[in-house]
Structure 1
Amino acid sequence: MQIDKETYPSQDFKSLDDVVDAFLARPAVRERPPHAAALAIAGAVSANKCLMTNVEHWPIIDGDDIQAKHGFRVALLNDFEAVGYGIPVLGPHDVVALNDVPVQPKAPKVVMGPGTGLGAAQLMWDTGLNAYKVWPGEGAHATFAPRGWKQKALARFVTERCGHCEIEEVACGSGLELIYEFLQSDEAANRPELLKHRTKKAVKEISAAALDGSDPLAVEAVDLMFAIVGAEAGAMALRCLAKGGVYIAGGITPKLLPRVKAGSLLEGFLMRAGREPFHKILTQTPLFVITNERVGAMGAREVAKNLLHQRRQQQA
C-alpha cells in the first residue's frame, strides 16, 4: 500500500539524510511512519554504507546511522540490486519479449540497462530462502570490447576523449551523445548528405530524432548503442548461463522501444551465436525489455517487506 511519494532533486540537498528528513516530515508519512526502509543508491554498497557515484557533494551514506536516528530498520541497496529484486514480482504486462524463449524456473537471471550510467546485477536462486538472491556488480566499468571496424573506431574516439573506454561510456545517456558525436566526425566527410545534421545534440534530442526518423545519424547512433548493450547482455548471459532470462532495464530502453524492436539489440546479443556451443546457449536464453519504470521501487519494497518480516520474527 502506497502512503505517499515525492521526487527530490539531489542537488537541492546536502545529504541523503536530509532527503529522508524531508520525506518523513510529510503529513501523510507522519500519520503512518515507516517501520523499515530499503534505500536504493547508485553506487557500490558495503557494510550498509555507500558513496553515491554521481552526486559528488554528498558524504558517505550510512544506513546504520539513519536507522539509529529514526528508529526503523534501514537497508542500503545498489540501485540495480533493487531492480533485481523487482524482477520476480513483475507481471506479463511489465515486460516485452525480444525472442520467443521460455523462462527456466529457478535458473540464473541477469539484469542490466542504460540510463544515467549502465547498471547490472545477477539473480541466483537461493534454496534456503526459496527465493532469488541478487548480486550487484560494477561490470559496466570493464573495458569496452569493440566488434568490427566502426566499434573499434568508436573505442579509439572515446579513448582519445576520456583516456579510457569503459563499457558504460558507450552504453548510457552520455554515451549515446558521444556515439552521435563520433558518427558525425567519422561519417560526415564521406557522406556529405549528413552534414546538415552536424550539430551537438543532447540525449533527448537524439532519441526523439531517432524515433521520428528525422536524423539518420540519430537512428544510427541509437542502433549502435543498443548493439553494444546487446553484446554486453550476451556476455553476461554466457557468464552465468542465464536461462532464467536476461532483462534490459534503465531509463533509456523503454523510451526507445521501437528502435529496440528494429533488431540491433537482439543482433548484438546473438553475435556469438555463430559458434557452438554458444549458439545453443544464447538462442535458448530469454531476452526481455522491462517497460515498468518503477521496477526498482518494486524491488526496494520487497526488501523492506523482508526487513519488516524479520523484525516481527525477532519480536515474537
Structure 2
Amino acid sequence: MTNVEHWPIIDGDDIQSRHGFRVALLNDFEAVGYGIPVLGPHDVVALNDVPVQPKAPKVVMGPGTGLGAAQLMWDTGLNAYKVWPGEGAHATFAPRGWKQRSLARFVTSRSGHCEIEEVACGSGLELIYEFLQSDEAANRPDLLKHRTKKVVKEISAAALDGSDPLAVEAVDLMFAIVGAEAGAMALRCLAKGGVYIAGGITPKLLPRVKAGSLLEGFLMRAGREPFHKLLTQTPLFVITNEHVGAMGAREVAKSLLLKHQ
C-alpha cells in the first residue's frame, strides 16, 4: 500500500485457503469502479452533460485522503466492465498557468518533487491554502493581514459560506487541478463512457464544483483544438452517493458467489 508502511502482506489466496471461501482484494477506487455501472441517475450530478457511449472506456478518480484513480474497460468475455486500478496520482503534477507553476515550486522546494496527489486531496487543499498565504502581505493586504493555518474542514466551510476569499480560491484551484487530471485521463483512454469524480471531498463541496473550475480544468480550452473538442464530447459526472465503494464491493462479491455455484 503506497501510503502505509510496516504492514504485513495481505494475501488473498492465503485467506481463501484458510477459511474456505472465495476472496478478492480490491483497493478503494477499484471498488468504486465496480460500483459505477450500478449507479442510478440520482447518484450523480452531470457537469458535462453529453451522451454516454455504451461499452466505451470509463474513468473514475477523485480527491479524499489521497487522490484515487482507476479505469473501466468493457470485457466482451464477461459481458461487463473490468476495472483496472492504477497509481497515476503519484505521477508528476503538470501545472497550468503561472499560479499553478508557483504552487509546484512551493511544494517541490519542500519535498523535492510535486506529484499530483500532493495538490489534489484533503492535505493538498491545506497545502494550497498555505501556499496562497505565502504571498507578500503588501500585495494582498485585505486577505493576508491575518494569516492563519486551517485544516481541510475549516477551509471547506469557509469556502462554502464565502467568509474567506482565500479558502474559495484554494478550493477552486484544487478543483481546477482535479479537472485537468480528469481530462488527461479521459484522453489517455478515450473515455466516451464517462469520467466520474468520486472521493469524500467533492460531494461536500458541490456548490464550488458547480461554480465551474473543475469543468474548466477538464475541458482544456487552451490546449489543441481537436483534443478540447474531444473533451467537450466526453461526459463528466460527480458521484454523490457516498456508498459507491460498498456497492462495487458487493458487485464483486456477487460475481464470486456466481463463480462458486
TM-score range, shorter chain: over 0.9
For these two proteins, the number of residue pairs brought into alignment is 260
Q: 1:199 to 1:192 in 2, by over 3 A?
A: same
Q: Please list the CA deviations of residues 99-119 of structure 1 after superposition, one character each: whole Å capped at 9, or x if unmatched.
A: 220111111100000001101
- Counterpart in the other structure of 2:123: 174
Q: Please list the CA deviations of residues 177-218 of structure 1 after superposition, one character each: whole Å capped at 9, or x if unmatched.
A: 000000000263410101244111111110011001110000
Would you say the 8 A contact 2:137–2:145 is kept in 1? no
- Counterpart in the other structure of 2:149: 200
User: Which consecutive unaligned segments of at least 5 residues does structure 2 have?
Assistant: none
Q: 1:197 to 1:303 in 2, by over 3 A?
A: farther
**Match of 1:303, SS?**
helix
Cα deviation, residue 161, structure 1:
1.3
**Match of 1:273, SS?**
coil
Would you say the 8 A contact 2:179–2:218 is kept in 1? yes
User: Which consecutive unaligned segments of at least 5 residues does structure 1 have?
Assistant: 1-51, 309-313
**Match of 2:129, SS?**
helix
Q: Please list the CA deviations of residues 48-86 of structure 1 after superposition, one character each: whole Å capped at 9, or x if unmatched.
A: xxxx33333431211122222322111101211111100
Matches within 5 A, 1:40-189: 52-186=1-135, 188-189=137-138
Q: 1:220 to 1:53 in 2, by over 3 A?
A: same
Would you say the 8 A contact 1:273–1:280 is kept in 2? no
**Match of 1:106, SS?**
coil
Which piece of structure 1 moves more, 267-276 or 202-211? 267-276
Q: 1:105 to 1:188 in 2, by over 3 A?
A: farther
Give the whole-Å Cα distance in 2 for the aligned partners of 1:287 and 1:278. 15
**Match of 1:121, SS?**
strand
Would you say the 8 A contact 1:99–1:287 is kept in 2? yes
Which piece of structure 1 moves more, 150-159 or 184-193? 184-193
Q: Please list the CA deviations of residues 249-295 of structure 1 after superposition, one character each: whole Å capped at 9, or x if unmatched.
A: 00100000000000000000012465221122100000000001111
Give the whole-Å Cα distance in 1 for the aligned partners of 2:205 and 2:246. 21
Q: 1:252 to 1:159 in 2, by over 3 A?
A: same
Would you say the 8 A contact 1:110–1:123 is kept in 2? yes
Two-structure CA RMSD over aligned residues (Å)? 1.4
Give the whole-Å Cα distance in 2 for the aligned partners of 1:92 and 1:285. 17
Cα deviation, residue 128, structure 1:
1.1
Give the whole-Å Cα distance in 2 for the aligned partners of 1:96 and 1:116. 22
Q: 1:197 to 1:61 in 2, by over 3 A?
A: farther
Q: 1:115 to 1:59 in 2, by over 3 A?
A: same
Would you say the 8 A contact 1:248–1:288 is kept in 2? yes
- Normalising by structure 1, we get a TM-score of 0.79
Identity of aligned residues (%): 95
Give the whole-Å Cα distance in 1 for the aligned partners of 2:4 and 2:236. 32
Would you say the 8 A contact 1:273–1:282 is kept in 2? no
Q: Which has the higher contact order (CA 8 A, sep 6+)?
A: 2
Would you say the 8 A contact 1:226–1:265 is kept in 2? yes
Q: 1:288 to 1:188 in 2, by over 3 A?
A: farther
Give the whole-Å Cα distance in 1 for the aligned partners of 2:260 and 2:114. 51
